[in-house]
């Protein structure tokens, strides 16, 4: 094997039938990315959407599966092998509709300092891309901080749930958990906040002449078997809530 630089592929010499041949090995790391698409025209067929996305993305690994066919619209699960998620999340790729993103913040900063703005950069980028709804987990905000969600970015409002109220006593360490959901203020006349009465879930209800559905954002990490009883308890609570609604439900889960 000859020496190579970091920018060159390795050349490996192999012998077969007393003949020497050279071949190059290249390693390509891809991720299987899945997105859920809703609000599509009722008559949309999976094969048609799959063909359209393959052509637009220039990616033959795209698969499209019908999840639900409603009376007015259909929902799909789309998967593709990509080097990064940026391509499949690009709103230009999709037909006109709602653009929903989910992000685990590991601590959301609401301050106006340069340091706070720097930590918020991924969120600012998502909102700048004009997503319609943004679901956030592990915000680490207190009850006193939640009012700042609607001042986070021009053109957006938000609500949240928290595990901590500073009026209840001293805080040791950082705030744990917390969820928030933000949406474009221009959709305000179509959206209502939904409270589930717990500190690990928050949602919205969307209602228009053509569509009526809920988006629920939850934080329920499993992590290890010790957390299984709490995890199952939360899933049962969520299941009971969904059963009582009996309409389309889309869940952002972490």
* Pair (251, 146) in one structural domain: yes
Report yes or no on 2 lying in a domain: no
Beta partners for residue 110, in sequence order: none
Does pTM top 0.75 for this prediction?
Answer: no
Report yes or no on 3 lying in a domain: no
Q: What CATH number should be reported for the domain holding residue 220?
A: 3.60.10.10
- Considering only the C-alpha atoms of the chain, give the largest distance between any 2 of them, rounded to a whole number of Å: 82
Report yes or no on 1 lying in a domain: no
C-alpha torsion sign, points 229, 234, 240, 243: negative
* Pair (207, 250) in one structural domain: yes
Q: Which of 97, 115, 137 corresponds to the end of one domain?
A: 97
What are 174-193's pLDDT values in tens digits?
788 999 999 999 889 999 99
Residue among 142, 122, 145, 146 at smallest CA distance from 134: 122
Is residue 42 a contact partner of residue 72, using CB atoms and an 8 Å limit? yes
Is residue 107 a contact partner of residue 140, using CB atoms and an 8 Å limit? yes
- Give the chain's end-to-end CA distance (angstroms, integer): 46
What residues have CB less than 8 Å from 197, skipping those under 6 apart?
Answer: none
pLDDT at position 242: 85
pLDDT along the chain (254 residues), means of 10: 40 46 55 76 81 86 84 78 75 67 90 85 81 92 94 93 87 84 92 95 87 88 87 92 72 60
Q: Which domain holds residue 36?
A: 32-97
Report yes or no on 5 lying in a domain: no
């Amino acid at each position: 094997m000859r020496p190579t630089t970091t920018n060159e592929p390795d050349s490996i010499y192999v012998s077969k039938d007393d003949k020497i041949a050279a071949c190059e090995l290249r390693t390509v790391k891809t991720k299987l990315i899945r997105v859920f698409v809703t609000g599509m025209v009722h008559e949309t067929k999976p094969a048609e959407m799959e063909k359209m996305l393959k052509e637009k993305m220039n990616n033959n690994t795209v698969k499209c599966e019908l999840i639900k066919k409603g009376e007015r619209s259909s929902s799909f699960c789309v998967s593709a092998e990509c080097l990064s998620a940026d391509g499949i999340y690009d709103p230009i790729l999709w037909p006109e509709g709602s653009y929903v993103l989910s992000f685990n913040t590991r601590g959301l900063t609401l301050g106006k300092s340069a340091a706070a703005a720097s930590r918020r950069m991924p969120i600012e980028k998502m909102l700048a891309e004009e997503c319609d709804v943004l679901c956030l987990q592990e915000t680490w905000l207190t009850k006193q901080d939640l009012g700042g969600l609607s001042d986070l970015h021009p053109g957006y409002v938000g609500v949240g749930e928290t595990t901590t109220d500073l009026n209840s006593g001293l805080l040791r360490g950082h705030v744990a958990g917390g969820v928030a959901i933000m949406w474009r203020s221009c959709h305000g006349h179509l959206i209502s906040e939904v409270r589930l009465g717990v500190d690990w879930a928050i949602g919205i209800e969307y209602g228009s002449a053509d569509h009526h559905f809920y988006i629920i954002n939850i934080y329920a990490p499993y992590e290890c078997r010790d957390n299984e009883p709490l995890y199952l308890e939360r899933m049962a609570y969520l299941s009971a809530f969904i059963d009582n609604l009996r309409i389309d439900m889309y869940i952002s889960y972490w």
